[in-house]
Amino acid sequence: MYIIVGLGNPGRQYEGTRHNMGFDAVDRLVELCDAPNAVRKFHALVGTGRIGSEKVVLAKPLTYMNLSGDSVRELVDFYKIDPAKELIVISDDIDLEPGRLRIRKKGSAGGQNGLKHIISRLGTDEFVRIRVGTGAKPAGWDLADWVLSRFSKEDREKADDALDRAAKAAVCVVRDGADAAMNTYNRQD
C-alpha cells in the first residue's frame, strides 16, 4: 500500500496557483487510479484506488501548506506504513523551472514549508518526494505573493505537462520503484 500526498492550500482562491502543484497532480492521479470519491478525514480529502494490484491512498491535506505534516502523520499512523517505502509527497519547487520535475528518496525540505513540516512531524526525511517546478521568484517579489500567483499562459502549458508527468512518475514509483522513476523523470529534455 502507498499513500500519495499532494501539497497545496484549500479554497478556490488558491486553485491554479504555483503552490498548489501537489493538489493538481493528485487530481490527475484520481483518474489514473480510479479513485473518484474523496472523503474528509485525517484533516485531508482522501480517496482510495489502485495502481495495478497495489492499493493507494490519495490525499490532499486541508491544513494549509505550512501544517501539512499534521495530516500526513495521521495518515501514516492510521495505515501503519513505512514512510521510507510507502509514502510519496508531491509539491511545488521554486528552484526548478516550470515544466521540470525532480524526484528524490530523501533529503532536506529545500525551503518548502510543507515538506519541512512533514519532515518535522514524521521525524525523518526518508520518503519519496516529487517536486514540480514553478520557477524562481522574480526580483522585487515577496515569496508568498510569488508562490500564490498564477502562471503565465506559456508557463501554464509547461506546468500542465509537468503535472501529467508528475502523476505518471508517482505511478512509476508504485509499479517500478523510486530509482526507475528517478531515471525516467529526472532527465532534462
Query: Strands 2-6, 87-93: parallel, antiparallel or unpaired by DSSP?
Result: parallel
Cα end-to-end distance, the chain, whole Å: 32
- How many C-alpha atoms does 106 have within 13 Å on its Cβ side? 8
Active site residue 43: no
Cα distances (angstroms) measured from residue 58 to each of 8, 111, 184: 13, 24, 22
Compute φ and ψ for 42, nearest 5 degrees.
Answer: 60, 35
Q: Which of 18, 19, 60, 73 is catalytic?
A: 19
- Are 51 and 175 a contacting pair, CB within 8 Å? yes
Q: What share of the chain is helix, strand, coil (3-state, %, to 5)?
A: 45, 25, 30
Alpha-carbon gap, residue 16 to 149, rounded angstroms: 8
Positions marked active-site: 19
